[in-house]
Amino acid sequence: MKMLLLSLMGLLAFGSYPGIDAQSSRIVCYFPNWARYRTGAGQYTVDNINPNLCTHVIYAFAILDGTTYKIKIFDDWADISLNGFQRAVALKTQNPKLKVMIALGGWNDSNDGTGKYSKMVSSTANINTFVTSAVAFLQQFKFDGLDLDWEYPSTAADKTGFKNLIVALRNAFQASGYLLSAAVSASAASIDAGYDVASMNQNLDFINLMTYDFHGAGWEPNTADHHSPLLKRSGETTNFNSDFAVTYWIGKGMPASKINMGIPLYGMSWKLTSTTIAPPAPASGVGAAGPFTSTAGFLAYYEICSAVRSSGWQVVQDPTKAIGPYAVSPTSPKTWVGYDDPAMAIVKSKYILSKGLGGGMVWDISLDDFQNTCGAGANPVITAIYSTLTNGSATIITTTTSASTQTSIVCPSPNGLFPDPASCSNFYSCSNGLAIKMACGSGLYFNPTLLVCDWPANVKCTISG
């Protein structure tokens, strides 16, 4: 999320907000419509979305009708009866620069056993039927565009068919100016098998590169490893990392400016079978489900930071920053989870800037600590991404308790947002004792009472920002 607004709850409660400067990078936020079915503090609906924290919100998912080959609503109750679509599009009244798109597909719809996506793209008639329905769908529900999330075209026929589909969609979308994007694989084999990159470059506005789930207990039950490495680590023989995927797509002809690199807001977990915790670590299947996400082998960032804060989980940071942190439970057997925290989000965002990429993408917005349960401010991971991609101003500050070696502030408490004593417009986000320096947007001051960036008139600060 954006560093301009550090507390979602603060924004909702106090209403007034200074606004957002023009952004040079995309911040694409997927919203899953099923998050509303989580209970208690985990429930997340369209109303929880802060429209000022992303450049694009992609509503997931609409699905493909395998009989008619038309796009159709996935959850009529959530999307229509409870006005999910309408509320999502209405976010633009609060942020006119926001684009709200609809995603088609996802893993479950793409792999329902019917082969319907392959069948849809196998003939011109089926493609035209789908395209006509897609245009009508966007017009009816007032979305700004369509995100194709077919996971994954895998044959020569699929590759040709997917190319034909995006060409037909682009031709149909031009008159209305609809956006067209695709969520794409980070695997070289899948890229080669299913994607005509030259055609995608010509016809898509951007791609959302799914640089996560490189490892998972569901398919690698015996080895716990970080699911979203940034870089290849010493001794690795595979290319399961974000840097390889980005470089490979660019090498195939996709301009860096059209690539939004994925940053996960969740971790993948295993049960350990030994005292070894450094990845790859011996394991025996999925870790226990989280209290809110209720999916074995998967934990939301807010579930992880809560376990670290309240249940004694040990956090280990990779000093090379090739991977994000991992945390280990004190239980027996131990649960191991690899994830990205705000500090790693900054590292990845700086990588995005260094490579000239179009921006970042998060899966998914409901999994960040949106309730500020861990005391580092609402949505701390997206905040770190936003502050880095928009200003390039977030830096990781090394802190110690020794005055002789201290290089910057010592966090007043392990978690929370704190003003910079030397600047009205800067502040620090502390997470597990690690301070991340951030800066408010131009002309704004950090308000330590509301934990937001605010108009100077609302902040008591005598230091020139």
Residue 302 belongs to a domain: no
Residue 37 belongs to a domain: yes
Q: Residue 140 is part of a domain; what is its CATH number?
A: 3.20.20.80
151 as an active site residue: the answer is yes
User: Are 450 and 409 a contacting pair, CB within 8 Å?
Assistant: no
Sorting pLDDT into bands at 50, 70 and 90, what band is 24? low
Whether omega for the bond prior to residue 456 falls within 30 degrees of 0, making it cis, is no
120 and 43 in a common domain: yes
Residue 250 belongs to a domain: yes
pLDDT over threshold 60, residue 4: no
Residue 194 belongs to a domain: yes
91 and 43 in a common domain: yes
Residue 354 CB neighbours (<10 A): 8
74 and 158 in a common domain: yes
Residue 365 belongs to a domain: yes
| 168 Cα distance to chain centroid | 29
171 and 207 in a common domain: yes
Residue 357 belongs to a domain: yes
Give the pairing of strands 434-439 and 426-431: antiparallel
Write 444-449 long-range contacts (CB < 8 A, 24+): 444/4, 444/18, 446/6, 446/417, 446/419, 446/420, 448/417, 448/418, 448/419
164 and 78 in a common domain: yes
pLDDT at residue number 423: 87
pLDDT over threshold 50, residue 317: yes
Q: What is the pLDDT of residues 260-278, one digit of tens each?
A: 999 999 999 999 999 999 9
Task: Determine the average pLDDT of the residues in 354-378.
Answer: 95
pLDDT over threshold 80, residue 407: no
pLDDT over threshold 90, residue 13: no
137 and 193 in a common domain: yes
| 321 Cα distance to chain centroid | 19
420 and 345 in a common domain: no
Tally of domains within the chain: 2
Q: What is the pLDDT of residues 96-131, one digit of tens each?
A: 999 999 999 999 999 999 999 999 999 999 999 999
**H or E element: which one contains 58?**
strand 56-64
Residue 49 belongs to a domain: yes
CA distance 43 to 29: 17
User: Are 404 and 337 a contacting pair, CB within 8 Å?
Assistant: no
**In which residue are the tokens 């249940």 written?**
311
Residues of the domain holding 140 = 26-263+341-391
pLDDT at residue number 99: 98
350 and 241 in a common domain: yes
For 189-211, b/e burial (b = at least 16 CB within 10 A) is ebbebbbbbebbeebbbbbbbbb
**H or E element: which one contains 426?**
strand 426-431
CA distance 444 to 437: 16
pLDDT over threshold 80, residue 384: yes
pLDDT at residue number 443: 74
pLDDT over threshold 50, residue 334: yes
**In which residue are the tokens 């409901």 written?**
366
DSSP, collapsed to helix, strand or coil, labels residue 409 as coil
Q: 69 vs 456, which has greater pLDDT?
A: 69
3-state secondary structure 308-375: HHHCCCEEECCCCCCCCCEEECCCCCCEEEECCCHHHHHHHHHHHHHCCCCEEEEECHHHCCCCCCCC
pLDDT over threshold 80, residue 451: no
Q: Residue 442 is part of a domain; what is its CATH number?
A: 2.170.140.10
Residue 33 belongs to a domain: yes
Sorting pLDDT into bands at 50, 70 and 90, what band is 394? low
78 secondary structure, DSSP code:
I
432 and 364 in a common domain: no
162 and 231 in a common domain: yes
The token duo for 51 is 């429209």
156 and 202 in a common domain: yes
CA distance 14 to 455: 13
Taking Cα atoms as reference points, which of 394, 395, 451, 460 lies closest to residue 418?
451
pLDDT at residue number 442: 67
Q: What is the pLDDT of residues 409-450, one digit of tens each?
A: 777 777 677 888 888 888 887 766 777 777 776 677 888 876
pLDDT at residue number 16: 26
69 and 164 in a common domain: yes
Query: How large a percentage of the chain has pLDDT more than 90?
Result: 76
Task: Determine the average pLDDT of the residues in 446-456.
Answer: 75
